[in-house]
A and B are shown apart, each in its own frame.
Chain A
């Protein structure tokens, strides 16, 4: 399975756009890129998934360049409640490997 690398932590302020980048240099042809959000003492929650170019839903956008070796999760106008750990995963064959994620801290 492809390994992912993302920043350990990030700080931002309320109302700003936050971009979290994940690198996955060894991504395979059939791998999708998925992001999860986890609050303390809760299970992770699916945010968004994509294969290439751009995907947008009501929560976030996911940007994937043509070579698919990285991806960027974009959270528009964050609020304090977006403080959480964000995991980038590359998935295939029904098995997921979670890394340590990016701990995002939103400041007032």
Chain B
């Protein structure tokens, strides 16, 4: 059963703690992406990776870090340097860079 998964669906953290969001895909896609979505807003690109062991910053990379050690996995770490981390985080993958397939999202709440 192919797809893209994110875990957990809901995540709660205390301010000052780093937290890592998981994203896994078994679609054999080369490209993977992380987006952030705030209420009533569109998606904003955090990081993207077009190939294993390589990734680029998106529009709002400050306070976030990623790794791409395996084709299937693209975890996102929200660091304590991110000033407003509470948001809905979406991971996507793509075979071509045009049509993206999205995961179900992780809703992160930091208090």
Contact = CB atoms under 8 A, between A and B. Distances in A.
A54 interface: no
Contacts, number: 52
A93 interface: yes
A96 B45 contact: yes
Summarize A's interface: helix, strand, loop or mixed: loop
Interface stretch (B68-76, B77-85, B95-103): B95-103
Interface residues of B, number: 27
Interface in A24-49: 32, 34, 41-46, 49
Interface string A82-108: 000001000101111111110000000
Interface of B: 31, 33, 35, 40-45, 48, 50, 58-59, 88, 90, 92, 94, 97-105, 107
